Copies of this chain bind each other. A is one copy, B any other.
Amino acid sequence: MSDEEVDRLFQALSDSTRRDILQRSITDEQSVSALARHYDMSFAAIQKHVAVLERAALVTKEKRGREQIVRGHEATIRTAQGVLELFEDLWRERASQIARILATEKGKP
């Protein structure tokens, strides 16, 4: 995954309205206007938020008649988790490296 994709991913997650939309579109897929009814915001604003989520591949849109159905895309959340796990791995590596150093120190006179 490219840096730009990861950028878009976390940027999309950095807004609570979008996180809420994502949540809703995971639990039950909804049209954009159905989503919009939940928020005190214009339809266009929600449309933009959905577009941001879509650019980040966190949701997909599928045209059904006159409406556009939004559903959460599970794989991308997993990708985000993968990125975070890389950071955690660094800590583990560092911890074990410190342990190794301490072990050799102990062996000294």
Name A residues whose Cβ lies closer than 8 Å to a Cβ of B. Answer: 3-4, 6-11, 13-16, 19, 22-23, 26-28, 72, 74, 77-78, 80-81, 83-85, 87-88, 90-91, 93-94
This chain: copies in complex: 2
Contact A7 B11 (CB under 8 A): no
Contact B80 A84 (CB under 8 A): yes
Contact A93 B27 (CB under 8 A): yes
Q: Which among B7, B15, B26 is the interface contact of A15 at CB below 8 angstroms?
A: B7
A80 CA to B85 CA in the complex, in Å?
10
- Minimal Cβ-Cβ distance residue in B for A11: B14
A6 CA to B16 CA in the complex, in Å?
8
Contact B84 A27 (CB under 8 A): no
